[in-house]
């Protein structure tokens, strides 16, 4: 967080470090809360472990790991943002409202777009290996 009052002297380094550590703490708390409440995220957690294990088993090249890491990070990020948007919409519009519905639908669409991209990465990286393994 920026210094709230520009007339105050700049904060000392240890205070800044504490502030950064606290921000990381809030972020981890957010991920943990979303993991507890969102079944989709629990599924992503399982899928992430499975993909990492499969990647290790297949001995992926460095560039393939980079693609897999980007795909996994993209899906996690979008799902977390979607969860945050759902929470804000529920807070601001507990009653039915077309705009609230649109906001949730669009946020869910963003997750879908990321998931399709991740699926494409998965097929391109693991597909040829699965094909060879099946002896096709
Ligand atoms: N306040 C609202 N006003 C209008 N439509 C809503 C509202 N809340 C939800 N909806 C509609 O219902 C759909 C499902 O909403 P819901 O809150 O159950 O999200 P979800 O995608 O099922 O998320 P999750 O499974 O993570 O709870 C939304 O995508 C939206 O179309």
Q: Where are the domains of the chain?
A: 39-133
What's the predicted TM-score (pTM) here? 0.86
Hey, whose CA ends up nearest to atom 31 of ligand 1? 101
pLDDT in tens, 69-117: 999 999 999 999 999 999 999 999 999 999 999 999 999 999 999 999 9
What integer pLDDT is reported at residue 16 of this predicted model?
A: 83
Question: ipTM of the predicted structure?
Answer: 0.91
What integer pLDDT is reported at residue 12 of this predicted model?
A: 75
* Active-site position among 51, 79, 107, 126: 79
Q: How buried is 7 (Cβ within 10 angstroms: 0-12 exposed, 13-18 middle, 19+ buried)?
A: exposed
Has 79 been annotated as catalytic? yes
Residues with CB under 6 A from ligand 1: 38, 40, 86, 93, 96-97, 100-101, 104-105, 108
Question: Known binder of ligand: residue 40?
Answer: no
* DSSP 8-state symbol, 55: H
CATH code assigned to 39-133: 1.10.287.3610
Of residues 37 and 1, more confidence is placed in 37
């Amino acid at each position: 967080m920026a210094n709230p009052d520009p007339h105050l002297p700049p904060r000392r380094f240890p205070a800044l470090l504490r502030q950064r550590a606290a921000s990381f703490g809030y972020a981890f708390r957010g991920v943990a809360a979303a993991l507890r409440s969102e079944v989709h995220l629990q599924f992503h957690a399982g899928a992430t472990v499975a993909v990492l294990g499969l990647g290790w088993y297949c001995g992926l090249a460095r560039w393939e790991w980079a693609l897999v890491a980007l795909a996994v990070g993209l899906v996690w990020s979008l799902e977390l943002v979607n969860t945050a948007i759902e929470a804000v919409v529920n807070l601001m519009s507990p009653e039915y409202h077309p705009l609230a519905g649109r906001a949730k639908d669009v946020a869910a669409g963003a997750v879908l777009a990321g998931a399709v991209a991740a699926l494409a990465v998965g097929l391109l990286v693991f597909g040829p290996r699965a094909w060879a393994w099946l002896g096709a």
